[in-house]
């Protein structure tokens, strides 16, 4: 028999935006339901790059990342199984000087390292003429799959009704107000407050109700190398637009490469030969591991708003229906902070 039950808050999607929305909802004592289409973390977040840095071009992103780092560290307490401390941005010297001035108030421990210092400390990194490293030991990279597993368990311990394997197929809307959701199995869950936090899948849910979400979707390739080291630091390469994070003896990252998709599920296809060629060229250009090999690759879907800003608001057409979207592949940097802001908005 189909289930029918009432909650004070329903969250659709248990990726990074959904789990932190759920966590902050528990602080406000909401009776909360969190619905996730997959039975274990398997959406966009686990396939992301795993970078959390405040060294961003947009000041808003830098501020969101600063708050997200504080939130994540507060939960994980620098759990070495999930978090790797430190992040270095490789830039031209003039750019690094400008960025140092821009970031030094937000990132008190930031410093410029010359090429010799960078290569002495991290001998697997190659720097070229006029390149330096802009380094923050308090920025971080993390394993996004392990983060979600940790948060799923913590949310259930705090009383959130987390139900994996429940795909939401329809919103229940009456008189321009949300009343709940319906799943693919016909279960109905009722609430006058619903948060859509399913990233690239949000657009499909809203489109089925005639609501246009002004975003476009792309798939982004990620690559995993096995290397001959275990102690490494996260790297952003300003000159060839690539990003990397360590995970034991693995080196995971990509260049800023993408392909357009119509539906979120299309974003999971394997990277093509050209994408593999580009990442190998970038890898050889920047790194000099003694032994390495490409062992895996995948892609993940992301949602980008047309003004490149994250979306965190109530849907105009439906009272009580809220959304976090347009994270643009920066979910770990934007999501935790936006989740906190959204719950505060719902309360107010």
- Mean predicted confidence (pLDDT) in 118-122: 97
CATH level 3 topology of 4-347: FAD/NAD(P)-binding domain (3.50.50)
**pLDDT class for 256, splitting at 50, 70, 90?**
confident
Cα 7 from Cα 324, distance rounded (Å): 20
Q: In this predicted structure, what is the pLDDT of residue 260?
A: 96
Angle subtended at Cα 101 by Cα 99 and Cα 103, rounded to the nearest 5 degrees? 65
Average confidence score pLDDT of the chain = 96
* 52: pLDDT strictly greater than 80: yes
In 88-140, alpha helices (H): 93-103, 115-121
Cα 254 from Cα 240, distance rounded (Å): 10
Using an 8 Å Cβ cutoff, are 206 and 169 in contact?
Answer: no
- Mean predicted confidence (pLDDT) in 188-217: 96
**pLDDT class for 77, splitting at 50, 70, 90?**
confident
* 301: pLDDT strictly greater than 60: yes
- Mean predicted confidence (pLDDT) in 30-43: 96
Cα 65 from Cα 331, distance rounded (Å): 10
Distances (CA, A) of 26 to 30, 68, 160, 277, 345: 6, 18, 7, 46, 15
- Mean predicted confidence (pLDDT) in 304-332: 96
**pLDDT class for 80, splitting at 50, 70, 90?**
low
Using an 8 Å Cβ cutoff, are 56 and 238 in contact?
Answer: no
């Amino acid at each position: 028999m189909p289930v029918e039950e009432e909650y004070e808050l329903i969250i659709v999607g248990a990726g990074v935006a959904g789990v932190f929305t759920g966590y902050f909802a528990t602080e406000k004592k909401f009776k909360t339901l969190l619905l996730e289409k997959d039975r274990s973390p398997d959406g966009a977040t686990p396939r992301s790059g795993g970078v959390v840095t405040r060294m961003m071009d947009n000041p808003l992103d830098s501020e969101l990342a600063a708050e997200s780092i504080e939130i994540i560290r507060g939960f994980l307490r620098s759990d070495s199984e999930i978090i790797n401390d430190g992040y270095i941005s490789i830039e031209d010297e003039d750019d690094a000087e400008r960025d140092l001035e821009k970031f030094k108030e937000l990132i008190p421990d930031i410093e410029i390292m010359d090429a010799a210092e960078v290569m002495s400390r991290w001998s697997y990194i190659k720097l070229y003429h006029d390149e330096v490293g802009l380094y923050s030991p308090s920025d971080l990279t993390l394993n996004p799959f392990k983060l979600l597993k940790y948060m799923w368990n913590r949310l259930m311990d705090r009383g959130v009704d987390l139900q994996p394997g429940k795909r939401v197929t329809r919103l229940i809307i009456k008189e321009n107000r949300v009343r709940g959701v319906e799943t693919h199995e016909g279960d109905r869950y009722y609430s006058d407050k619903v948060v859509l936090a399913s990233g690239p899948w949000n657009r499909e849910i809203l489109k089925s109700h005639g609501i246009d979400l002004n975003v476009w979707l792309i798939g982004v390739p990620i690559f995993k190398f096995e290397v001959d080291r275990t102690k490494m630091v996260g790297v952003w390469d300003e000159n060839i637009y690539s990003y990397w994070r360590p995970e034991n003896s693995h080196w995971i990252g990509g260049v800023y490469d993408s392909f357009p998709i119509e539906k979120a599920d299309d974003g999971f296809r394997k990277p093509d030969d050209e994408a593999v060629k580009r990442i190998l060229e970038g890898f050889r250009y920047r790194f000099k591991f003694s032994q390495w090999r490409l062992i895996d690759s995948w892609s993940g879907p992301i949602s980008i708003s047309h003004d490149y800003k994250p979306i965190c608001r109530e849907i105009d057409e439906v009272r009580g229906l809220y959304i976090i979207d347009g994270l643009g592949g920066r979910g770990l940097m934007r999501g935790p902070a936006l989740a906190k802001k959204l719950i505060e908005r719902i309360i107010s």
